[in-house]
């Protein structure tokens, strides 16, 4: 594969994991000590990081280096989940667990959270009406 192809794949994967974890370029530069201009070049496929930097980023996201440097076709479930902001927040909070969830799982979690929130709301209303 060409250098441009490698840079493009890395940039796409890096942007994917940044979005998935709700992180900005500034967040990663601050947390990992990268120069903003250098990191911007990586995100925009203008340059390719050294392997030690790739390893730092992979560890930061709790993923394998191959998740950043290899092309990965997306399954339908992955595409659907990527478009779900709640799923992205959930995965950002629980890291590697994301590989275990399907969209049906996410929908079940949402429903459960809504039920708990409704139960708490009713309990609070009841307590206020008793005062």
Q: What are the structural domain ranges in the chain? A: 1-71, 73-131
Helix residue spans in the chain (DSSP H): 3-20, 25-32, 36-43, 51-61, 65-69, 76-82, 85-94, 103-129
Q: Architecture of domain 1-71 in CATH? A: Orthogonal Bundle (1.10)
The DSSP code for 51 is: H
Confidence band of 77 (pLDDT split at 50, 70, 90): very low
Which residue would you say has higher pLDDT here, 131 or 68?
Answer: 68
Give CA–CA dist 92/24, Å, rounded. Answer: 13
Q: Which residue would you say has higher pLDDT here, 121 or 42? A: 42
């Amino acid at each position: 594969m060409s250098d441009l192809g490698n840079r493009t794949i890395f940039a796409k994967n890096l942007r994917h994991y940044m979005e998935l974890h709700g992180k900005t370029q500034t967040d990663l530069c601050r947390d990992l000590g990268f120069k903003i201009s250098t990191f911007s070049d990586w995100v925009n496929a203008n340059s390719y990081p050294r392997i030690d930097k790739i390893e730092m980023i992979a560890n930061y996201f709790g993923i394998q280096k191959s998740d950043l440097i290899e092309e990965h076709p997306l399954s339908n479930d992955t595409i659907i989940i990527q478009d779900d902001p709640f799923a992205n927040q959930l995965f950002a909070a629980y890291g590697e667990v994301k590989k275990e969830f399907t969209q049906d799982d996410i929908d079940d979690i949402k429903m459960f959270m809504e039920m708990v929130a409704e139960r708490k709301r009713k309990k609070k209303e009841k307590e206020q009406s008793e005062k």
